[in-house]
């Protein structure tokens, strides 16, 4: 069993928000995550988990501190787990030089390039390792859903499309919908995966929906005033691809909202309830 070390614990809406560190076999370094555990959770009453993936420049703290999701999660009996967004402190040359690559920008892929492949395996960490760590240490059942924001929205959608049998539902806030077509994604995929764009397709939701056989409905919220909407997020391109391949997508555009956590906090209750409904209806 992986040993986890609690670094902080705070009471919140009757439950607990806690922060942990542990040694990761996927990333070969110390990784961090936060968790919200509703008061009713116990070994006799195990609850489902919503995994939240955060965006560029974020850590395991941003969502727990800024989203206000805990009240609704407590009311709907859902545990929330939010991992850090990348390995850190791996002594890789250049890992801290850019805000959109390296530290805080793991992009939820398994790196293939020599410089990064021993540590930057966030796909394996989120899909396989972290759920095992959570199951071994907390009162969770086998039901899980996934959501995220920006780079984390990309990660949530991509992971769910690739593993539809593993998740009961998926949603995203301002996700990077077609990373192969935007500057953030091109930089990350080129750096972590190299020049082989067939490898890029494995981590690009816009490409994955073209070949998906088992389909999991996707819910997206986007701010109409998001400064990255046209250049980085490509929701319209993704929407067209989903329509062409009859992939179930609900996308809502909200006037007056941008890319910030003010936007996430405004609609997070809707998403918690969305996931809770799916987790209950498939019992």
Active site amino acids: 150, 226, 259
Task: Give the dihedral sign, CA 88/91/92/95.
Answer: positive
Cα–Cα distance list, 23 to 3, 90, 105, 216, 239 (Å): 8, 13, 19, 32, 39
Task: Name, in order, each residue with C-beta under 8 angstroms of 44's C-beta and a sequence gap of 6 or more.
Answer: none
**Burial tier of 219 (Cβ tally within 10 Å: 0-12, 13-18, 19+):** buried
15, 139 contact by CB (below 8 A): no
User: Alpha helices of the chain — where are they, by DSSP H?
Assistant: 62-66, 70-75, 122-124, 130-137, 151-162, 183-193, 197-201, 205-211, 235-244, 261-281
What is the Cα Rg of the chain in Å? 18
Residue with token string 């006799």: 44
């Amino acid at each position: 069993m992986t040993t986890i070390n609690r670094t902080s614990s705070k009471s919140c809406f009757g439950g607990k928000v806690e922060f942990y560190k542990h040694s990761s076999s996927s990333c070969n370094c110390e990784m961090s995550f936060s968790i919200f555990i509703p008061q009713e959770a116990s070994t006799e009453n195990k609850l489902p988990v919503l995994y939240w993936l955060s965006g560029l420049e974020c850590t395991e703290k941003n969502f727990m501190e800024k989203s206000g999701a805990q009240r609704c999660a407590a009311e709907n009996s859902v545990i929330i787990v939010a991992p850090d967004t990348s390995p850190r402190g791996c002594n890789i040359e250049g890992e801290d030089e850019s805000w959109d690559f390296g530290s805080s920008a793991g992009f939820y892929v398994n790196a293939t390039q020599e410089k990064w492949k021993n540590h930057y395996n966030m796909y394996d960490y989120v899909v396989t390792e972290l759920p095992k760590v959570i199951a071994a240490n907390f009162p969770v059942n086998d039901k899980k859903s996934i959501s995220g924001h920006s780079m984390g929205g990309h990660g949530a959608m991509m992971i769910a499309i690739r593993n539809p049998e593993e998740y009961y539902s998926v949603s995203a806030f301002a996700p990077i919908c077609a990373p192969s077509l935007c500057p953030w994604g091109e930089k990350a995929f080129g750096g972590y995966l190299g020049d082989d764009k067939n490898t890029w397709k494995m981590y690009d939701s816009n490409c994955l929906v073209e070949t998906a056989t088992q389909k999991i409905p996707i819910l997206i919220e986007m701010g109409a005033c998001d400064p990255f909407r046209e250049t980085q997020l490509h929701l319209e391109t993704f929407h067209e691809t989903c329509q062409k391949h009859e992939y179930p997508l609900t996308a809502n555009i909200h006037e007056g909202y941008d890319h910030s956590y003010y936007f996430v906090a405004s609609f997070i209750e809707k998403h918690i309830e969305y996931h809770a409904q799916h987790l209950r209806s498939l019992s």
